[in-house]
Structure 1
């Protein structure tokens, strides 16, 4: 509904219990797991749309599937930069995900980089992705019966994929000689920065201001170091003088905008490179970790993925990866239940009637995809169950009103979607072909938040299935 007739004011929205006058809903704050806490509030009775207030600042949370779909209508709603993404803006002010939609550099970068994610480009990236998968298989094979640290492995694998495929650079994160000091430092600084962005966004007022003042200098040092690392990566490409390179960095340095004929400014090349290193690894690593946890818990899913792999091969060609339909269903179910980006902000272009409440033009709401993608009204009574078969094309007909937006919505949705899904499909295929995966404890999947929703570090065992299965093609 777009009409404001009979709509209630936002002050009438449900809110968490134990609201304190003036201070607000301080009892409902969880700075370490904010969106998971909001999921519990929605499922605990607050419903498809509710409010949280702290010191007069009101946050409108949209948790229902149908209302979230309404907020995805680009004619009535737009994207707005708030929350952890806004905190990350100092790292890459004009990056693909941190720039304002009105920023002309955003449109220019999108047009320049779009060919870098077309099918022809994806075919050229495949071998680089496969080389990382080979390194990962080799490392896990050497672990023997010892557990493998999944968080570290996926962080390094996804960073290496974006670096090798997108920037033509080996970060040496799988070098057994341990010569990747600069890259290791980059990983640590990036982790601290993401944690800072998430926790400072969801901190309690006053206390949060003190914490921000104490943490600020260290955060700024980390950001400066991250930028320096990327500056050196770009300088290496300039020294190589590889003007014919057609990877992502090559496009950013040499391609012209089809509308304006201009190249990206040097500062924007840094912003986009940082953006891809951060977003291109963190979200895919989160997805792979969730997927590996579910695979290790359910060997039947491993068998079904193996059934999509030609038995005589250990490596996978580009075309073979694109035919792995069940693996894509499996990944979609991981994304549905645990989207790495658990929500996004939307702003009303005009007055909107959202669930019977008046959202005035210019007012922002937070679409909690983590809750909307579990809404039984649009996903059925088993919405909380992990079931990859719900994404079978026939089964999907039972959910015509489903909400599924793990990549965001509208023109600002993730440009690297095809890249991430191909990478994740290839990685899972290679790992289950080479190993039987098992969990090492009965600990349930626990997610932490640092801008993204990502599992707490865990281990699993990877028992080699055969010598042939551990060799690359």
Structure 2
């Protein structure tokens, strides 16, 4: 194979003997820094630390090559590997060869199909009602806090038929929820930083933080176990939700049900990954809408205009869906993923041997000006409308991952986000409390630094009622 070895790849300047590219380590904003390096070094480059080479693929065309499931596969590396210590064999952290992964995927797939969103719509709508009521009463909004609350409530109510106590009159959180959230935040920060640490300092930090981390993991699993134990004690009682699916449904292939330990893994995965990624998406969307009120007015006037937010109407909100897609393009909550070469591959003239993993930097590939145009860094939701939508489908866009290991909850997240965003837009004009840039922090996901909005009653269109999907 006439190709260059990976050792010939460009690398950041200032490489040191033994330590390698330690000067290029940015443990606070690793993927954003790697995106900057893509602009300097090209669509594929290397970073070497203590002899370990990371191959970063940031060009859209090269990233698209790695989506071929015959030639490339998924590998558990980076923050997801760290989170395995927390979520065990949950869908995101299980290894594909683990029999429980296939069993759980088969059992849960019907619960995340588009048809299931009709079942969950009422629970999601109740959260939208509580959120907008809260903003009516308290118009100065801590966006990070409220999106955390709203997305956890959606998962709790739609997924487990349980109010989490984070919105409305029961604000203050159900027993243990606040402690769980604090522990979860520290775990996500650890997962992100520990995989992007300075050599030699990382292991020291691991040892020093192990007691706190183990306590946080125990807190998370204890909280989830209480949810499951309550359901088992009370019984299903006709509840049509994800927890019931996991507890009561047999795998169509093996005839076996999920063991309770794996149900705990799955519930913890949905609470952690499900709320974190959707909250990140909502925060980005709200920031851009507040920064560009004329866009918010246009969507409210042309697409909402007092329309009842039934299930049928929400799935037809094309402008809102395009807006969310553009948020996901610019700021994917999961900024990258690893792909493993099944056979010898060539990327941009470099030989990637079979069994070698590369890091596909979606954050960079989805901003590649060679594919997305010279305005790739600008927010333009019309990229995902009309003829431009057709063109976009041929470009690299993978905010939910790829292949059989792509995010099973993407339909859930999109329906939830569309409903919440439509509810807010139809009722409120939003503005930033003070001018501020959108600053992203990394803690296993990309999520905005906290910012504050001010909501005032919308005057351009009548408020759209949030309605059940059942006519």
Q: Same fold by TM (over 0.5)?
A: yes
What secondary structure, in the 3-state scheme, does the structure 1 residue paired with 2:239 have? Answer: coil
1:465 equivalent to 2:461? Answer no
Over 3 Å counting, the alpha-carbon distance change for 1:114 and 1:27 in structure 2 is same
1:221 equivalent to 2:250? Answer no
What secondary structure, in the 3-state scheme, does the structure 1 residue paired with 2:86 have? Answer: coil
Report if aligned partners of 1:380, 1:399 keep a CA contact under 8 Å in 2: no
Deviations 1:316-337 (CA, angstroms, capped at 9, x unpaired): 1001101100100000000000
Q: Which of residues 364, 387, 391 is equivalent to 1:371?
A: 364
What secondary structure, in the 3-state scheme, does the structure 2 residue paired with 1:293 have? Answer: helix
Question: 2:339 aligns to what?
Answer: 346
1:321-360 to 2 correspondences below 5 Å: 321-360=314-353
**1:442 CA displacement:** 1.9
Deviations 1:206-238 (CA, angstroms, capped at 9, x unpaired): 111111111111011000110000000001101
**1:72 CA displacement:** 0.8
Over 3 Å counting, the alpha-carbon distance change for 1:50 and 1:388 in structure 2 is same
Q: Which of residues 15, 19, 24 is equivalent to 1:23?
A: 19
Q: Which of residues 233, 246, 254 is equivalent to 1:252?
A: 246
The CA distance in 1 between the partners of 2:269 and 2:386, in whole Å, is 33
Report if aligned partners of 1:341, 1:406 keep a CA contact under 8 Å in 2: yes
1:116 equivalent to 2:90? Answer no
Give the total of aligned pairs.
Answer: 465
Question: 1:73 aligns to what?
Answer: 68
Q: Which of residues 425, 431, 442 is equivalent to 1:438?
A: 431
Question: 2:102 aligns to what?
Answer: 107
The CA distance in 1 between the partners of 2:310 and 2:391, in whole Å, is 34
The CA distance in 1 between the partners of 2:386 and 2:33, in whole Å, is 32
Question: Normalised by the size of structure 2, how large is the TM-score?
Answer: 0.96
Question: 1:41 aligns to what?
Answer: 37
Q: Which of residues 201, 212, 236 is equivalent to 1:207?
A: 201
Q: Which of residues 215, 223, 233 is equivalent to 2:227?
A: 233
Report if aligned partners of 1:66, 1:401 keep a CA contact under 8 Å in 2: no
Over 3 Å counting, the alpha-carbon distance change for 1:127 and 1:71 in structure 2 is same
1:11 equivalent to 2:7? Answer yes
Deviations 1:105-145 (CA, angstroms, capped at 9, x unpaired): 1011000001101233210100100111111111111114x
1:380-395 to 2 correspondences below 5 Å: 380-395=373-388
The CA distance in 1 between the partners of 2:303 and 2:384, in whole Å, is 20
Q: Which of residues 84, 92, 100 is equivalent to 1:89?
A: 84
What secondary structure, in the 3-state scheme, does the structure 2 residue paired with 1:302 have? Answer: helix
**1:400 CA displacement:** 6.5
Unpaired runs of 5+ residues, structure 1, are none
Over 3 Å counting, the alpha-carbon distance change for 1:402 and 1:237 in structure 2 is same
Q: Which of residues 157, 160, 170 is equivalent to 2:150?
A: 157
Unpaired runs of 5+ residues, structure 2, are none
The CA distance in 1 between the partners of 2:320 and 2:271, in whole Å, is 25
1:291 equivalent to 2:285? Answer yes
Deviations 1:357-411 (CA, angstroms, capped at 9, x unpaired): 1111101000000000001111112111110001113013445741000000000
The CA distance in 1 between the partners of 2:113 and 2:14, in whole Å, is 51
**1:179 CA displacement:** 4.8
Q: Which of residues 108, 133, 136 is equivalent to 2:131?
A: 136
Question: Normalised by the size of structure 1, how large is the TM-score?
Answer: 0.95
1:58 equivalent to 2:53? Answer yes
Deviations 1:420-450 (CA, angstroms, capped at 9, x unpaired): 0000000110001110001122211000000
Q: Which of residues 406, 420, 423 is equivalent to 1:413?
A: 406
Question: 2:449 aligns to what?
Answer: 456
Cα RMSD for the two superposed structures? 1.6
